[in-house]
Chain A
Amino acid sequence: MSPSRNGGHADAGNTPASDRFEEDVLALMPALRRYARSLVRSDADGEDLLQDCVEKVLARRAQWRGINLRAWAFTIMTNLGRNRHRYTAMHPQVALDEDLGLEAETRESDPLERSRLERALNGLSVENRSVLMLVVIEGYRYQDVAEMMAIPIGTVMSRLSRARHQLAEAMKDDNVISMRRPK
């Protein structure tokens, strides 16, 4: 599994030309959009998080070391996602998924399955969810995730484990209910 699809160019030492930097960020937008959406509960929240992240990345470009822009942007997104989650946890709202027309078009499976999986995901803590997404969807190695989140690799493993067990459990519970319902 390839650890780092490096979205950046490695000319550390020079101040990156701003045009080039913005082009690199632009090239990362699909990956960032997907990761943003995978951390939150609705399309609208995903686009909000993406916007916050892009703003932060541009505002902090002076702090970028010049290597692996992708991992750096993902770290920023992870932290923003966590801050946001804390806030919504304190101010629970009904998740209104205004359909922004961003849904996966290629998706074949049952929409019920999709919402079941999303509900199960929403039951995960934001920390466990981030680790799961970085590993499973974004393809980062455990060591990369540890560095990005500034946590020991043992914590990465325990979060991953908790996320997987909890997800499996949530999906299983749902199964039991839907099997009983017809009777």
Chain B
Amino acid sequence: MTEDFNAVSEDDLHAYVDGALGPRERVRIERWLDENPARAEEVRQWRAQAVELRALFAGYARSDAGDRERLSRSSGTEEARQEPDGQDRATRSRAGFVRAVAAGFALFVAGGLTGLYAPSLLPSGGARPSQIAESLPRQAQSAFLVYASEVRHAVEVGADEQTHLATWLGKRLDHPLTIPDLSALGFSLVGGRLLPVNDKAGAMFMYEDGSGRRLTVLLGRNADNRETSFRIDESDGVETFYWIDGPIGYAVTGEVPRALLQQVADECYRQFEKSEATKS
């Protein structure tokens, strides 16, 4: 009995409801449910839910007379600007992507162990960041929420005018800019826009991967001119890595696994550093 009790997990119950178990497993779960009426009642509710949900949306699974027209209307509407390159992402498999994320995570853990990403990458009770640093992730998250959902007007200047974009935003930010290249991580530039950050002109770049997931990189002037390590801020599923490097604060935001966002932040940091070095 006790053994049985431990052997049936929440996951088993879902797999039972979703028909994902073999006959022997099903029998095992059914026996267990006989002895656990409260859970049996839950399982009954989940099954009823499933039936009702299927009924609720079944009627939408149909073709519409306008579908063919909708398709031809869509062909070629989404301009080439979202696809600045015909890169090898076409061949990048989903499984490869999952592996890359896993590898990134392994790296991240290893880095944590060796102190590579050391001091305060994980939120810890260290020194409080200044008020500006505090508001940077909030502003970055608002910008992400507002613009990442825009299909057609996510950016002011598209990736096809990358040089112009860098010069223009660099001038407004009063800081020479290079636009990070994140293609190695599967993200291509959509474009950028001018945004107020800390009440001054700031810059935002938007990236997108093959499945439409978006990331933003935000840059803003930082008055107190100091340096911080990487910090993480999470709000409602939107994660932001941010750091301040002298006059500029940086924030990388997205709804992607933290390990991937970390890789992106690392990559941006590396590329911004490099461009600083060559300029000075």
Contact = CB atoms under 8 A, between A and B. Distances in A.
B56 A157 contact: no
Contacts of A157: 10-11, 14
B56 A63 contact: no
Contact of A104 (B56, B76, B77): B56
A79 B211 contact: yes
B14 A160 contact: yes
Contacts of A36: 60
B18 A104 contact: no
Nearest to A55: B74
Contact of A58 (B10, B74, B93, B238): B74
Contact of A34 (B50, B61, B75): B61
Nearest to A80: B212
A125 B49 contact: no
Contact of B59 (A84, A103, A121, A151): A103
B275 to A, nearest CB: 29
A68 to B, nearest CB: 9
Contacts of B49: 136, 164, 167-168, 171
Nearest to A47: B64
B135 interface: no
Contacts of A55: 74, 77-78, 151
B14 A164 contact: yes
Given A104-B58, A147-B98, A63 B70 contact: no
Contact of A90 (B58, B146, B255): B146
A30 B62 contact: yes
B213 interface: yes
B141 to A, nearest CB: 10
A164 B46 CA distance: 6
Contacts of B15: 142
A109 interface: yes
B180 to A, nearest CB: 21
Contacts of A82: 255
A10 interface: no
Given A26-B71, A109-B52, A87 B59 contact: no
A177 interface: no
Most chain A beta-carbon neighbours within 10 Å: one of B53, B60, B214:
B60
B214 A102 contact: no
Interface string A28-41: 01110110111000
Interface in A31-68: 31, 33-34, 36-38, 46, 51-52, 54-56, 58-60, 62-65
Given A79-B213, A150-B257, A168-B42, A30 B53 contact: no
B45 interface: yes
Given A59-B82, A157-B11, A33 B52 contact: no
B125 interface: no
A89 B149 CA distance: 11
Contacts of B93: 65
Interface in A62-96: 62-65, 72, 75-76, 79-80, 82-84, 86-87, 89-90
B97 interface: yes
A30 B101 CA distance: 33
Contact of A147 (B60, B68, B95, B146): B95
Contacts of A136: 18, 49-50, 53-54
A176 interface: no
A1 B15 CA distance: 11
B241 to A, nearest CB: 18
Contacts of A148: 94
Interface string B240-262: 00000000000000011100000
A20 interface: no
B71 A25 contact: yes
A167 B94 CA distance: 31
Contacts of B255: 82, 86
Given A59-B82, A136-B50, A165-B42, 6 more contacts: A26-B67, A34-B61, A38-B60, A56-B151, A80-B212, A104-B60
15 contacts: A58-B75, A62-B90, A63-B90, A75-B94, A76-B211, A87-B146, A87-B149, A89-B236, A107-B55, A108-B55, A114-B56, A117-B52, A125-B237, A137-B54, A167-B49
